[in-house]
Amino acid sequence: MAINVLVAIGGTGSRVAEAYVYAAASGLLNNNTKTFVFVVDKDIDCGNTTRLIKTIDEYREMRECTGLDLPEIEKCDWCIEDAMMQLNPNVTKGGNVSYGEVASTAGTSDSLLVNMMHSREEQKFDLQKGFYGHPSLGAALYGLLTETPVFSSTKNTLVDKIRTELASASGQVRTYFVGSMFGGTGASLLPNVARTLHEDPKIGQNANYQQAACLMLPYFKFQTPSNRTAAPVNFATFDEKTATALEFYSKDRTLVSTDYKPRNNASHSPAVFDEMYLFGRKPLEPTCASYTLGGKDQVHTFTVVDLFAALAGVEFFNGKTVHVADGTPHLYSADMPTPCVNWPQVPNPDAQSRFEQMLRFSYAFLNMLYPMFSQPKQELAHLQFLKNMYGASGLLGGGAAHLPEDLDFGKEIQRIAPFCEKYMRFFVDLHRCNGTVAPGSVELFTNALGLAHMDLLDPNDQLQPMAWFAQNYDRLRRSFKPDSILVGQRTTGVSDGAALHGALNRYRFNLHEHPGLSSIYRAVYDIMQVKVR
């Protein structure tokens, strides 16, 4: 058995992890290997982090209801909050606490050491929302956390889960760390958490273990507050901070592997990371409408950089990263030689067909299946493909379908719709121009996708309720043009709603393999595969 472990550090790590969920939902993972996602962020209320957690829940609901052959993804808690409570019993989850309060244990001379190493401003720094460009504080705090009893116990789920899997007869684990190098949380915790696993003899010396780092260089910004002096995060310093961090890493000859020998091989050159990826973009792209000090309002739109970082994780987990010559550090980045990022620049040969299929499925679900199955059950019984599935009454089967009494159309579709909307929104975000990046700089789908997505949202930018879809069924069916979202004049046999109905009527359903409505979802998923004529 094998597992993938994705360690998302800070808000940037959470955004890339969410992009990874969309890549996994597209069927890009070999053998559908299960992924455990660990979120490492002191700012537990960060909008990016809570959105990731909700998206994983929505993905699980979609996967269970549709029965699509997609990998499991499980969000896992770590022991950071428990360890902080052992450092300072007054710490409550999500509560305010200063660095000095946590670093100075009562009844000891810790305060003297803290006073020597940290300014008064740093000691008063509120840790509730991460480290705000202070990686030294994060690194120091992590060192204290590793000395707590809970950190060395089985409650350290990150370490324990990897140890347990590697101890099994055929256990294999790949761990992918992702975080920013220009902020605080990612810059401070990513190398330290990775070194913890590397130095654990049951992990770091196991031949079946590998770990990679994705270092996110500057690529986004959000609006500066009117009072510039009040901003603890200065975007103008991103390059300087990143350069300093990379210079420090470049001096560590044991950071990145230069050979492909197993970790337990005596001739293997010890290295913390088996592979390392670096991604950034200039100019910085605005991804958040307003300046925010973390918390629930810190919700960024996605960029193509998030997509590339997520796909790098897919390549690492699949073991398909291009090999370099022995003696050369395993460093990778993405080059964009043209002003427009389109499918030839996406570093995965299967990405276009898989993303197109899942996006067309999401589009078909929201514009056809969701409004269709929102109709009264007695009306649905007259659909031909349901008659084909369940049989029909009347002479020569001309009557209503024999629908099972316990078949609840509305309950299931409400469990699938949220993820389909999120999936569409992700690609709309990639295409959105925020005033800095030139229009048309990303062309994976056409502008018709954005218009179709916008039509499904209420004034609060949320998916319309099921009653709205029921009322607008005819209009949505008429406007359903799945080929219109494809680039490169790619056309398929499903050009409109009538064509989809026709394909469903001809589909040979297997209720034994895909029981209930999952057979219909599987049928639509197969039908929406792009087969260029």
Domain ranges in the chain?
Answer: 2-78+156-334, 351-527
Q: Give per-residue pLDDT as tens, 85-109.
A: 777 666 655 456 666 666 666 555 5
The three-state DSSP-derived secondary structure of 59-91 is HHHHHHHHCCCCCCEEEECCCHHHHHHHHCCCC
- SS3 state at 469: helix
- SS3 state at 256: strand
> Could you give the CA distance from residue 202 to residue 433 in angstroms, rounded to a whole number?
48
Domain 2-78+156-334, architecture per CATH: 3-Layer(aba) Sandwich (3.40)
Both tokens assigned to 282: 């200039």
**Which distant-in-sequence residues (6+ apart) come within 8 Å of 411 by Cβ?**
none
This model's pTM is above 0.75:
yes
Write out the chain's pLDDT in tens, 533 residues. Answer: 899 999 998 888 999 999 999 999 999 999 999 999 999 865 566 777 889 999 999 999 999 999 999 999 999 988 777 777 777 666 655 456 666 666 666 555 555 555 555 556 555 555 555 555 555 666 667 777 788 888 888 888 999 999 999 999 889 999 999 998 876 566 667 888 999 999 999 999 999 999 999 998 887 766 665 555 455 555 566 676 677 667 767 777 789 999 999 999 999 988 999 999 999 887 777 666 655 555 555 667 888 999 999 999 999 999 999 999 999 999 998 876 677 889 999 989 999 999 999 999 999 999 999 999 999 999 999 999 999 999 999 877 789 999 998 888 999 899 999 999 999 999 999 987 444 455 668 899 999 999 999 999 999 999 999 999 999 999 999 999 999 999 988 888 899 999 999 999 999 998 888 888 999 999 999 999 998 76
| Contact predicate 343/444, CB 8 Å | yes
